[in-house]
Structure 1
Amino acid sequence: MTQSMSEPEPPEHPPPDYHSIPPRRPPIECIRTSAAPEPPSRSSQAFKVNGTIYVAAQIAAAPRVGFFIGPPAVTAERIFLNIEAILKAAGSSLDRIVKTTVYLTDCAHGVPEFEAVYQRRLPFAPPRTTVLVSKMNTPDIQMEVIAVE
């Protein structure tokens, strides 16, 4: 049996040029509130996508005042106030948090105080990732969250 090798027929409809197709993105709502500090440069405080709110890492800074240094419990409380304000602006609240990420410097002296505030403010214990960072440009504690409406 001999099989002839012929040229394949071109498809009726050529495949699309994937480089010219705009990406399909769900609608993104940028969340901003004056009740939390302004983000650096062109960052956003948060995005809301399909009912999920992604809050950028917050530090112990007060709106219109800026960063302040204080005891770890006061620092943690300020971070929670910022996150709470952003979530409120997005139509959510602390009790709707589904995931947290906490960035800590190698400062073991402040961790127990931070943990006490964290457990008081989030008693339902959402899943959490803790990242120990040897050096951050700003404060000793930063926290970002994901919440739902």
Structure 2
Amino acid sequence: MNKFIAAVSAAAAGAALAFAGASGVAVADDGLSGAYTLTWDLSQAAQVKNKEVRTDQWTVTPCGAGCADVAMGGGQTGQMHLVNGRWEMSRDMTLMNCNAGGPDVTVFTSLDAATLQGFQRNTNHCANVTFEGPASLARS
């Protein structure tokens, strides 16, 4: 009896997969891969002296389902994770060694997985200043 149930279950699963493929139901590709340009608009950020739009070149490599390794300019790296339909990455950096026991700067990036539009937030723990601006990621 158990063999019969297992066989029926396997057949049903196979039929469901075949149906999904035949019906054109798309399986979401949550992976990022390749060369991208991140554009970060700080032209409206009140706390920023140099009102500008910044760009950075990213090389993105998948590291599993919902995971992407990111290599950025200046030898910086990070890892994005797909969380509730958004690619998110938090990076801590020690640049000035002013925050004993913690990072000097935290950069948080959050992008909608479908549009690759979102925001990037920079928190300077040394100066106790946070600024944020719209960000977008586009294939280079």
Query: TM-score scaled by structure 1?
Result: 0.30
Could you state the TM-score of these two structures normalised by the residue count of structure 2?
A: 0.31
More strand by share: 2
Structure of higher RCO (CA pairs closer than 8 Å, 6+ residues apart) = 1
